[in-house]
Amino acid sequence: MASDNICKYLAEQYPVEFAQWLCGEDVTEITVLKTELSTEPIRADSLTLLRTENQILHLEFQTLPTSNPPLPLRMLDYWVRLKRKYGCNIEQVLIFLKSTTSESVLIDELVDINTRHRYRVIRLWEQDPTPLLNNPALLPLAALARSDTPITLLEQVVAQIDRIEEPYQRGNVTACVEVLAGLRFHKNIIHQLLREDVMQESVIYQDILQRGVQQGRQQGKREEAISLLIRQLRRRFGTIDLSLQGQIGVLSLEQLEELGEALLDFKTLADLTIWLNRHRLESILIHQLRHRFGTIDPLLEEQVRMLPLIQLEELGKVLLDFETVTDLAMWLNEHQLEDGSDRL
């Protein structure tokens, strides 16, 4: 489970505590809003919306400042959509989790020719740990707060966890601390201080374990498939260039299975190169389409995947001109494959 997912979980489990910490005032009634704002995709895994009596508190958690689109533009985009939908005051807070020297974490506004939009930025490693240590809901954040002796701070966090009486809450907070502390401390230090038996009852800990098992199984299947394919290619074509092996090594399990089927039709290594190039371009285009339009109809995705390399390259050139999914559908209808076309 990613760090920003953990923060989203905490903010939605303890909205009052987060609102009081960030707004500095007593809040008794608060509602967690759904993050669906429009048909445009948003990063729902890092976005939290809390509605108080007189405003919406928009929390955005970021491990690092890298973002596409850039964070200032994203914050303006969210503000416009929230303002249009709810018509109330909006307090935006961007919270950076991991210490960095990047100057991007100092930016707290978007400035364009005729536009200026400001929002609050919190760099967690600069924050006083005291209010975080004194609130069980904020303890996981305390592990990343300001300290000249970080290990001592983590020990204080663990001591405060031990004071939580309710076992379920103690387990969940412990699991959250383990994930966030990983942004600052080596895992051996974390495991020395945190009790695994406390975390075992946590739904978050169970989720982390399950994901790890699934990823391990998936990775094992991928490595086996990669090894088998490279052996088959060597038998057919002799030495395989390391760059080609590298391209095969980053394919998904599904793509490796497709390559295994296509391999029977390859006559030369050039066919493999063409296949890899078209699948790389195909993956990039599908990702860009999902980023622009959200969920894409599976039939449209399949049409994109059926395009030959030359038409994929054409699609890449005109993609930015599409305003809606309808534009994509019209373009695909105009460029349908003729029967017998070669997808390589």
Is pLDDT at 318 greater than 80 in this prediction?
A: yes
Residue 286 banded pLDDT, cuts 50, 70, 90: confident
Residue 214, domain member (yes or no): no
Number of domains forming the structure of the chain? 2
pLDDT bin (cut points 50, 70, 90) of residue 109 is very high
Question: Is 298 inside a domain boundary?
Answer: yes
Best CA proximity match to 137, nearest among 167, 165, 99, 176: 176
Q: DSSP string spanning 203-261?
A: HHHHHHHHHHHHHHHHHHHHHHHHHHHHHHHHHHHSS--HHHHHHHHTS-HHHHHHHHH
Domain ranges, residue 313: 266-344
What confidence category does residue 214 fall into, taking pLDDT thresholds of 50, 70 and 90?
low
Asked if the structure places residue 241 within a domain, the reply is no
Tell me which of 64-68, 115-119, 120-124 is least confident: 64-68
Last-in-domain residue among 204, 220, 251: 204
Classify residue 248: in a domain, yes or no: no
Residues 310, 185 share a domain = no
Q: Are 221 and 253 in contact (CB under 8 A)?
A: yes
Last residue of a domain, one of 151, 175, 204: 204
What does the mean pLDDT of the chain come to? 82
Q: Are residues 107 and 198 in the same domain?
A: yes
How much is the pTM?
Answer: 0.60
**166-188 per-position pLDDT tens digit:** 888 888 888 889 889 888 988 78
Tell me, yes or no, whether 154 and 286 share the same domain: no
Long-range contact set of residues 331-335: C-beta below 8 Å, sequence gap at least 24: 332/300, 332/303, 332/304, 332/307, 335/307, 335/311
Please indicate, yes or no, whether residues 153 and 75 belong to a single structural domain of this protein. yes
Residue 230 counted as domain residue: no
- Name the 3-class secondary structure at 116: strand
Which of helix, strand or coil describes residue 70? coil
Residues 141 and 274 in one domain: no
Most confident of 39-48, 207-216, 256-265: 256-265
| 3-class DSSP state of 328 | helix
Q: What average pLDDT does range 293-299 have in this prediction? A: 81
Residue 332 lies in a domain: yes
Which domain-ending residue is among 185, 204, 223? 204
pLDDT at residue 217 is higher than 70:
no
On the CB side of 327, how many CA atoms lie within 13 Å of its CA?
A: 11
The alpha carbon of residue 212 and the mean position of all alpha carbons in its chain are separated, in whole angstroms, by: 17
